[in-house]
Amino acid sequence: MTSRSPSWLQVCISVLVSSAFRALSYQPCYYSEVKSILYLAYGSNLSAETFRGNRGIRPLSSVNVHVPCLTLTFDLAGIAYLEPCFANTAYRIPPPGQAPFPQDPKYRKNRWQKGLVGVLYEVTPSDYRTIIATEGGGSSYQDIVVPCFPLAAGLEKTPEEPESQPVLAHTLMCPRDGDRLVRPDPGYAQPSHRYLKLITDGAEEHGLPGDYMAYLSGIRGFTITMSRQKVGRALFLGMWLPWIVSVMGPGRLLADKEGRVPEWYARAMGLLFEVMWRSYDFGFKRFWGDGERTINGAGII
């Protein structure tokens, strides 16, 4: 470690090699034996509409946190023309053997440089199982443990360096080097306006730092601007939504006591989305237009 290394990196590394971190990281069944679990939310689960309403989670407590070892990404493939991508996270400095996440500055979503900001919820083991089950049951995201630094609500700016003691918490990450579907350009797709609103509404509800909310508000959402895109959307969704609903429907019923789905089910989900996106890349996109990024009169934006 050189003297030029940022202090947040030194703190994160010291935490990640601690015995407490190893105890949490390598015991996937431990949370069935505790009274509460710390869960870091950074996407649509920031929103009460999603977290408390749709998922039915009742957090015991919550606090805003800064997670400088991670960064927010939108590289988790969704459904073309409808929900092109979903929020994900990546290590700012990847572990040995992993390639760094490509951060093309031409995309607005890649311009934030202070690390992930989110909300740390304290939840019951039962509610944590629900979180896992409703986030794909382990078929997309992986459960990881990261150091989080509490923040006061209503700050104007996110600190450049941590100003509090770290707390270890679970969060969900879908690594690019895993078995999941990976789009050619991880920064290309734009999230839907519906999905972005859940994130920005949640950030406002919790009083996340003003500069982070400004960053979130500057991310452009996907908009269909051409008639042929509308036709393509109708055909694409008519073809694939019934399959998605029928395959995803039984997921929560098949989940085990930790909220995880069987391996065969996860593979079936992965295969379905792989075939769906191939049909988009080699057919729908060519004939009906872009289903991931807004097209205006001057071209793609």
At residue 193, what is the residue type?
H
| Annotated binding-site residue? 42 | yes
Name the one residue in this structure whose structure tokens are 């979503």. 109
Question: What is the mean predicted confidence (pLDDT) over 289-295?
Answer: 95
Look up residue 190 and give its two tokens: 């734009």
Q: Are residues 146 and 79 in the same domain?
A: yes
Contact predicate 68/112, CB 8 Å:
no
At residue 241, what is the residue type?
L
Q: Are residues 213 and 253 in the same domain?
A: no
pLDDT at 102 over 70: no
pLDDT for position 12: 66
| Annotated binding-site residue? 227 | no
Q: Which residue has better confidence, 42 or 96?
A: 42
Q: Are residues 153 and 251 in the same domain?
A: no
| Annotated binding-site residue? 30 | no
pLDDT band with cut points at 50, 70 and 90 for residue 175: confident
The mean pLDDT of the chain is 85
Which region among 38-52, 101-115, 163-177, 257-271 has the lowest average model confidence (pLDDT)?
101-115
Measured distance CA(218)–CA(105) in Å, rounded? 14
pLDDT for position 2: 44
Question: What is the mean predicted confidence (pLDDT) over 82-90?
Answer: 94
Which structural domain, as residue segments, surrounds residue 269? 227-300
pLDDT for position 27: 46
Domain count, the chain: 2
pLDDT for position 3: 46
Measured distance CA(186)–CA(102) in Å, rounded? 7
pLDDT band with cut points at 50, 70 and 90 for residue 163: confident
With CA atoms as reference, report the closest residue to 73 among 149, 176, 143: 176
Residue 189: phi and psi, rounded to 5, are -70, 145
Within a domain: residue 1?
no
Digit-coded pLDDT (tens) for 2-47: 444 556 666 666 666 554 554 454 444 455 567 899 999 999 999 9
Could you give the C-alpha distances from 283 to 64, 87, 188, 277, in angstroms and in order?
Answer: 44, 26, 18, 10
CATH for 79: 3.10.490.10
| Annotated binding-site residue? 40 | yes
pLDDT band with cut points at 50, 70 and 90 for residue 209: very high
With CA atoms as reference, report the closest residue to 254 among 158, 176, 137, 171: 137
Within a domain: residue 233?
yes
Q: Which residue has better confidence, 118 or 27?
A: 118
pLDDT for position 24: 52
pLDDT for position 134: 84
Q: Are residues 248 and 100 in the same domain?
A: no
Q: Is 161 a residue of the active site?
A: no
> Which entry of 33, 83, 135, 258 is annotated as an active-site residue?
135
Sign, CA dihedral 24-28-34-35, equals: positive
Q: Are residues 35 and 127 in the same domain?
A: yes
pLDDT at 107 over 80: no
pLDDT band with cut points at 50, 70 and 90 for residue 211: very high
Quote the DSSP letter at residue 107.
S
pLDDT band with cut points at 50, 70 and 90 for residue 92: confident
Which region among 39-48, 93-102, 253-262, 275-284 has the lowest average model confidence (pLDDT)?
93-102
First to last CA, the chain: 40
pLDDT at 147 over 50: yes
Within a domain: residue 190?
yes
pLDDT at 137 over 70: no
Look up residue 139 and give its two tokens: 């078929």
